[in-house]
Structure 1
Amino acid sequence: MTEPTFDRSELLLRRDAVMTGRTDGELSRLVRAGGLVRLRRGAYVDQLLPPDAAAVHRLLVHATVAGLRREAVVSHQSAAVLHGLPLWDVPLDRVHVTRQPPAWNDRSAVLRCHVARLRDDEVTTIDGLHVTDPVRTALDLSRSLPHEAAVVMLDSALHRGQVDHAELRVRLFDIAGVPGSRSAARAVAAADGRSESVGESRSRVVLHRWKLAPSTLQFDVRSKDGALIGRSDFAWEEHRLLGEFDGKVKYRRLLKPGQEPGDAVFEEKRREDAMRDENWNVVRWVWSDLRRPDRLAARVRRARDRDR
């Protein structure tokens, strides 16, 4: 997967505008008239800000790094955005950079500066910016994010082939002993590239937490003659139980050319009936169930124990 490209013409820095003869008063009038949108102090775009938070943050990264007086490497969630690594429940209000020691940690309204040693092979270049590579970025986030958000990020990166599980495990040794290294090791151990959505990743974290870990993911259900009936998000094979996380994204993904959403839902119902005909029980849950993990765990446990 290639990183999104950045069009520098989208961004106008005050310093560049002043050099071409514009004044602060003119910039202010353009903002009031809607000709410019203020991204942050001293940085503007000549269009509406994109609705996607990651796209806005990408602009913010370029605007902020351009104003730094000392060299820094874009890192953490800012590096994740530049690499196109998917994030869930991760704040994007500040640009994150890393400097080599003996620098110092720094924080402002728009900047968070970390201090850490970076090898040359841990730094790459995107759109002219020095950026931590995908593996170092994933490990830095695994150290600093809550466990659930870290697993979601790692699952997605693994699923998309942006990082490799074996390399993640090897490079954990590079951060051994630093703050958060144990959290990173825990997240890497829990990550699984077979998860296909944020909802599936969050569900797996909940199920593990409540000691209801499925025996496998993306389980192929077959008829007695070996024909493929369908695939289930989760399976507890010993208990003949299948688990399905239902999100709107899933049904959009199942749509065939010319189909309406209702058609995909109907086909999903037929698929579930066929699985039940093969003596599989099915338990389903949705986004709102993830807000009450105790209830979700109780429902899965009841379904799992029905065969006893």
Structure 2
Amino acid sequence: MPVVQLIRLSGGTATFAELRASASGRAIRNALAAGSIQRVAKGVYALPPAEDPDAAARAQGGVVSHLSAAVLHGFDVLEAPPTTQVTVPRGQHRRASTLACALHWADDVPSLDGRTTRLRTVLDCARTLAFADSLCVADSALHQGAIQRDQLIAAAATLSGPGSAGARRVAAAADSRAESPLESVLRAVLLEAGIDSFVPQWVVQDETFSARIDLADPGRLIALEADSFAHHSTRRALRRDCRRHTNLTIRGWRLLRFSWEDVMLDSEWVVDVVLQALGPPPHQSATGLTVVRRSRRTASGV
């Protein structure tokens, strides 16, 4: 994984040891030489100061768009763009400017406060990014209530040209219940492998216990958790997780937990493990309906 992305995913800074866990020493030295990262203290690295995206867009006579607009709208992204992404009217030439940017051209650019609208931003990302990256943006926009799912599906249906099929696929898969980028990526990995039986944020509840599962296959009672270190790094968190795991187990659930490294760096293994856990089709009743036990949806539909 690129050194710049590792630092972004670490919150903007990282130690040499943290970088070396996933990148070579040569990659770190090359990133330093290229100026894409900087040493801020002995053994500590950070990204250089970011350029003003609004200024870059104004310099080109356009608007901030795509992933850059997603960041400004507050949507979750897997990786911030290395340079500001700007959309200008079709036929307009690049203007001379000291501010770096990646240009896109379009006939119609609906904008708000110097950036593409929230809906247009999600569609642009869905047309141009990999499925996991764009699903992360779309899930986040829906979860925040910035756009509505029926609105996204309807807008994607009107698209034509490059990336339109991908946009419709993202719109169909996007889910407002998703609560983290890592969870969105895990769901994208499964969907790309043809595994579509898992739903986000499933509630397991009875008289003495309640838990929300990142991704659940209720028919088979299989639970998947996308675990980030930030939420599982204390003694208290360990005790809580152990009790939660045990309580789910005695209620018939099988819990599979995946780390950030599993989901982001070894997705083939994740798919293989989930397929092994799924095994044969879920138990069917005499009427052909899937039998779901020990779980129910809340009034909000989660």
Report the TM-score when normalising by structure 2. 0.70
Aligned to 1:118: 108
Aligned to 1:86: 76
- Cα distance in 1 for partners of 2:96, 2:274 equals 44
- Cα distance in 2 for partners of 1:282, 1:296 equals 13
> Are positions 1:178 and 2:168 aligned together?
no
- Cα distance in 2 for partners of 1:107, 1:233 equals 48
Residue by residue over 1:4-63, the C-alpha shift from the partner in whole angstroms, topping out at 9 and shown as x without a partner, is xxxxxxxxxxxxxxxxxxxxxxxxxxxxxxxxxxx9xxxxxxxxxxx678xx54x43134
- Give the partner amino acid of 2:91: P
- Cα distance in 2 for partners of 1:305, 1:97 equals 47
- Give the partner amino acid of 1:190: A
- Cα distance in 2 for partners of 1:106, 1:152 equals 32
Bigger Cα Rg? 1
Residue by residue over 1:61-107, the C-alpha shift from the partner in whole angstroms, topping out at 9 and shown as x without a partner, is 13424544xx22222222222222221134232x2222223325789
- Conserved 8 A contact 2:77-2:181: no
Aligned to 2:88: 99
Matches within 5 A, 1:7-86: 56-57=49-50, 59-68=51-60, 71-86=61-76
1:237 to 212, 218, 231: 218
Aligned to 2:278: 304
Matches within 5 A, 1:234-273: 234-251=215-232, 261-273=234-246
Matches within 5 A, 1:259-298: 261-290=234-263, 291-298=265-272
Report the TM-score when normalising by structure 1. 0.68
- Cα distance in 1 for partners of 2:118, 2:47 equals 21
1:217 to 192, 200, 203: 200
The alignment-based identity, stated in percent, is 28
Aligned to 2:17: none
Which deviates further from its counterpart, 106-115 or 214-223?
Answer: 106-115
The structure where helix makes up a greater share of residues is 1
Aligned to 2:180: 197
Do the aligned partners of residues 107 and 239 (structure 1) sit closer, same or farther apart at CA in structure 2, a change above 3 Å counting? farther
SS at match of 1:167: helix
TM-align CA RMSD: 2.9
- Cα distance in 1 for partners of 2:177, 2:231 equals 15
SS at match of 1:239: coil
- Conserved 8 A contact 2:202-2:214: yes
- Cα distance in 1 for partners of 2:186, 2:143 equals 16
How far apart are residue 166 of structure 1 and its match?
A: 1.4
Mark the runs of 5 or more structure 1 residues left unpaired by the alignment: 1-38, 40-50, 253-260
Mark the runs of 5 or more structure 2 residues left unpaired by the alignment: 1-34, 36-45, 284-302
Do the aligned partners of residues 212 and 273 (structure 1) sit closer, same or farther apart at CA in structure 2, a change above 3 Å counting? same
Structure 1 segments (4+ residues) deviating >6 Å? 105-109
Do the aligned partners of residues 228 and 187 (structure 1) sit closer, same or farther apart at CA in structure 2, a change above 3 Å counting? same
Do the aligned partners of residues 246 and 103 (structure 1) sit closer, same or farther apart at CA in structure 2, a change above 3 Å counting? same
SS at match of 1:211: coil
